Structure 1
Amino acid sequence: MTDFDSFRREWLSHLSAERRLSPKTLEAYGRDLGQFAAFLTGHLGGAPSLADIAGLKPADLRAFLGQRRRDGVGNRTLMRQLAALRSFARFGERSGKLTAAAFAATRGPRLGKSLPRPLEPSAARAVTQADTRAGEEREPWILARDAAVLGLLYGSGLRISEALSLSRAQAPRQAGDTLTVIGKGNKTRMVPVLPVVVGAIAEYLELCPWRLPPDGPLFVGAKGGPLSPRIIQLAVESLRGALGLPSSATPHSLRHSFATHLLGRGGDLRAIQELLGHASLSTTQIYTRIDSARLMAAYDAAHPRAGR
């Protein structure tokens, strides 16, 4: 093991213990640095050491990004990989083993400004109703389970990972109950649960054939084990076809719909930020741009002088 490999482990431990990054982010960052090390092995003619990393120039980093682009990697992934490398270099600089100058001086690719694409309210409601899939050859408890999960995404703004990490003991029992959710960065927040979603969860629990211990998962798969996010994604894909929805209709689009529809009905931006668990208000403000775009589209479609 080189000093680079050892220091990479120290950095990942730091990100996990002190920065509290999610396991998926840690996995991605570790993979990014591994790909960088593989590139440098060919670029420099041998496995890189910390001294090699310290001696890199912006041109070396641009060569790595160029190679990744030739491998078919998109701009967002390139930006994440550059962010991982900068984080590693800053950690090394604080430890006195590296300098971050070359990493900071390397510009990443430009990202197009894309807006989240929420569903229309009627479509969001249809997606979260078990009756919408009544014609499918699925067991009733499966349809009730999927509706309950999707109801939490739209009704409480949860991420799919947050909904599937709920325990049986956390199941809301009556209108007015709230959920305590642990989101990104282990940040805890409380979210309300709509009465209709409480009812959907109660129906699922009544129909579910499996014993659900209090400390076990609230939502389980067909064989009683933890429910995979892929199952919910496939359910939404099925609903896309049945309802004629665009490919942008995904489980996560229900979370976008939650925020957009609240804002459109006069919801406070700060309150929406808290409900979504965003660390920065600027992340939540993107929904104001969606609302403005919808207003302008309605204006252009309805005003007699629009476009003239």
Structure 2
Amino acid sequence: MDGKALQVAVIVVMVFSVFVTTTFPASSSATADSFGVEDANGYKNTYVGVPVNITNVQSGPVSCIIFNITYDKSVINVVDVQKGELTAEWENPSYLNFEWGTRVSLVYDTQAAHALQNGSTGSVVLLNFSVIGEPGETSMMNLTNIQLADIEYNVGTAPAKNGTFSILSATPVFDTGSGTYPSISGTFNGTLKPNQTITVYMLYTYPCPGTGGHSEYVKIWNSTGWNVTTTWDGYKGDWRNISFNKSFSLKANETYNYAIRTGSYPLIHHTNALPTAKGWINCTEFTDANGVVHYDWIPAIKLF
């Protein structure tokens, strides 16, 4: 065990000891309006980050947090725990997996300014789940044994906010269909407008037969400044798919911009506008690997 992990373990033991041996008046105990997770979802054989949030810290500051999260381990499983936005300066979280779920503990770095001050709201850790269930399956994400310690290690708690994790279907939610030749790699820019709200996690590029056609970079954004980006991991695993860090929704009848940089030879729809069963995709311009600009090339893709 390294020094930081040992420090976390020692302080956690101290907190448990205080909790067991000492009773404090309710007014001295750290608390919050809520502590827990929102509903989340993901595709089988992917990883999904689920933030654990605290809302409106009271009777703080909070310097140590311990909690259990119960879930169905045949559906999801915690494989890593990272710091949250409110605990960026804290020691790295510690966690233990059990048959019922995971116990998480984390402690501040002893700098009073880094403890969670009264009124604080945000994430305290990010749970990284491996998604192993089948499409359509769900798991509860229930928080229990929530302990919030102040800088004197008086221990309080907060109401749990529980969530549900759902496994998404692998059926494409937006599919241009297979395209044609001629083809060349390059960067596609255009718009897409779904006719129904779709949840997206991954993009598949139709390759020209016998080639390694794929997408190397994808950005999707709208006029509000919202955007998501992802990059390719190379020729390994399911390399024709490119995955985003987490799923997101594209709303019905709203226009989104896309930029897709491809490698090798993807199949192409040689038109400036293409209707699909789930909406329209348009070409603004395509700059090929030779620097030539085209205005009627749309990449053949599927969104999942």
Higher RCO (CA 8 Å, separation ≥ 6 residues): 2
Q: TM-score range by the shorter chain?
A: under 0.3
TM-score in terms of structure 1 length: 0.25
Query: As a proportion of its length, which structure holds more helix?
Result: 1
Give the structure-2-normalised TM-score. Answer: 0.25
